[in-house]
Structure 1
């Protein structure tokens, strides 16, 4: 009887997993909010005893399976009505394409979880429900997509967020420097790295490892397809000191920022605040292009942001949503200009597209953002085929810019059916002391 019971449970879980997989066969495996009433979807590791610490969101959603740290998802529903949400996980390979694994191969529990932790906003003009959800532990290191959907309608996807788990089974050493190309030494940064796989089973090390380098936690700033330049079979070491500049990336500029943690007075880079009855409006100081001229050192969050409320210290439910107005004084460009940042997952769409006003010679955009401190820059989507994103034209590129880099090393072990993240390393370039 026990055997039949276990067989029934296994078939039930497998059947449910197959049904869920069939419902979302073409779901893009990207960070995205599909419901316009949902805002500020944060996913971060709980590395502090205080889950409401604003600085927690400055950590990327990447955790080690060898440590007890968990990931927490938070988001706001601006309908101001309670809605029932559920979450599930999708396993992905190194290229973020959905793997062939069944749920039971990477989860410890049933892969369909209710989101029951919520609070109502307090003393805000824009009312919302604030939801929290701790992502359950997984079995395998690798890439995952967290999917939140409406409990009443499984096909109504609310949002998706990427995260990764790793186990350091091999060694990675990485270092950043200026580009070796004389033409790029003042604009680009180069990441040299080496992999030591001593004691790790691999059949063809020069081909089997998939290396990804990411700048400032941005999925649109990645280097993929690197091949080792030197294979030391005796020492079981791979070196990636390439001469074709494939490990080189534009340095960019320090990110612009503004502070809306309070509306009682003007904080950093806020020109003025208006307070109509239904909402608050904050005008960010007028920006200018920075591509011409010298590099100016300043501190930033490397494109990220934090949610906070200065008066209460509880940004989760006391921070209001503010109509934030951006203004860029620049000549009209051939293409669309966007306010670019992690607040929009570095995506360019109608929400952050700017409109040019010939009368004032400025671009302007109004974006509803929760109170906090935000990093951002400006990007041009040029009118050409295919369309290309250009941040250099407005912001400039400088090799002296302080940036964070991550190195991901993926491998599919013998007889495994999916890629695993077997090494993860973070490093800073031009870090301030």
Structure 2
């Protein structure tokens, strides 16, 4: 009996190590049946739809947890468990042991779940409170099935401990050619009361646009250290702190399926689902910027009739159409937080010669969904949103400034400064 227990223990440990090694330390979905993965601060009513557009970052002395939600479209109950990984500033795995950043055993059963109610598409909705952790920094939570221990999703989040103060502002780019298209983030760091041994190199600064890890800049070094004032000044001359402005995001409203919401041209009802055909879109890279209120690429899950979007919002195929000539060297995608900003087969578009336009059909939960169009072309195969959407300096955007510090003899990067800078906010 002891040998059997020892064998099971060793096997479980080996499986856990193999599983951890396969985790992608990024926002990722590993199983097609998993969708609508949300991670947000549980500050307000957990059915308030606007909770979903807040960044998954909280202070270490928080009185509220982060909440992870996701749906399983297999329509049958599956037991899930979650684990947490501590990461460095560059999102590589830190060398810390679990006991150094967790208060309890690092394996958390997902015990809160509900079955969808009154929807054409059945699903199970799961919810997990991220447990309180000991250290600030970058983290990845990943979820796996209890049955086969296969990964189903991973999501990034952050915990910060105020140590330094960030003074920052957004403005027009100082670049002559970029002054009508790009936005510039100027900042300085005040470290009064925070011990730095080498102020020139001790801090790592990251600027992130609209909560997106595919749009960050880092590697900043202070251009001036004022030791008496305990201030680090960051002044740039080569546009290191400049971002393309982009454009306001397109959106459609499917919070009710009893009629056509904003952006929906027609609906097709079947016994399986309600299919949505969005109004055809056109490129916006040339022309005049038009002010539109958006969610900076995020999306809200909601259902008008009940107000319980978590379990009463239905899933609908949405057909996106972009009217632009075929380009054999280009691949078009419908992009947005609804797909974790990933470019894959789910949001890839195909050219339809019958209507001379690119189209994609994507299965989405009811709500208000922001999206834009991204093109991959050229030798570098670098995604380009400006190719279709354009870049305009007046576009409303949010920028996060994250400051990391590794103590002397420390084995991980801690997040000691956090500030959000709003540009041209109108609401």
For the aligned pair, the TM-score class normalised by the smaller chain equals over 0.9
Q: Does 1:364 align with 2:359?
A: yes
Deviates more, 1:226-235 or 1:78-87: 226-235
Q: Hey, what does 1:328 align to over in structure 2?
A: 322
Residue 74 of structure 1: CA displacement?
0.6
* Superposed CA offset, 1:192-235 (max 9, x none): 00001112111111111100000000111101111112111221
* Superposed CA offset, 1:310-367 (max 9, x none): 1111111111000010000011232100000000111100000000112311000000
Q: Hey, what does 2:420 align to over in structure 1?
A: 426
- Count matched residues: 417
Distance in 1 separating the partners of 2:241 and 2:252 = 32
Residue 41 of structure 1: CA displacement?
0.6
Q: Hey, what does 2:94 align to over in structure 1?
A: 99
Q: Hey, what does 2:209 align to over in structure 1?
A: 215
Q: Give secondary structure in 2 for the equivalent of 1:20.
A: helix
CA RMSD of aligned residues (A): 1.5
Residue 16 of structure 1: CA displacement?
8.4
Residue 403 of structure 1: CA displacement?
0.3
Q: Give secondary structure in 1 for the equivalent of 2:213.
A: coil
Q: Hey, what does 2:120 align to over in structure 1?
A: 125
For the Cα contact (< 8 Å) 1:44–1:56, is it kept in 2?
yes
For the Cα contact (< 8 Å) 1:100–1:417, is it kept in 2?
yes
Q: Hey, what does 1:39 align to over in structure 2?
A: 35
Q: Hey, what does 1:296 align to over in structure 2?
A: 290
Distance in 1 separating the partners of 2:22 and 2:152 = 15
1:350-429 aligned within 5 A: 350-384=345-379, 386-429=380-423
Task: Name which of 153, 162, 166 aligns with 1:159.
Answer: 153
Residue 415 of structure 1: CA displacement?
2.2
Q: Does 1:242 align with 2:248?
A: no
Q: Does 1:144 align with 2:144?
A: no
Q: Does 1:53 align with 2:59?
A: no
The answer for unaligned runs of 5 or more in structure 2 is 1-8
Q: Does 1:348 align with 2:337?
A: no
1:182-221 aligned within 5 A: 182-221=176-215
Task: Name which of 333, 339, 344 aligns with 2:334.
Answer: 339
For the Cα contact (< 8 Å) 1:187–1:251, is it kept in 2?
yes
Distance in 2 separating the partners of 1:281 and 1:422 = 47
The answer for unaligned runs of 5 or more in structure 1 is 1-12
Q: Hey, what does 1:24 align to over in structure 2?
A: 20
For the Cα contact (< 8 Å) 1:17–1:102, is it kept in 2?
no
1:47-86 aligned within 5 A: 47-48=43-44, 50-86=45-81
For the Cα contact (< 8 Å) 1:17–1:103, is it kept in 2?
no
Normalized against structure 1, the TM-score is what?
0.94
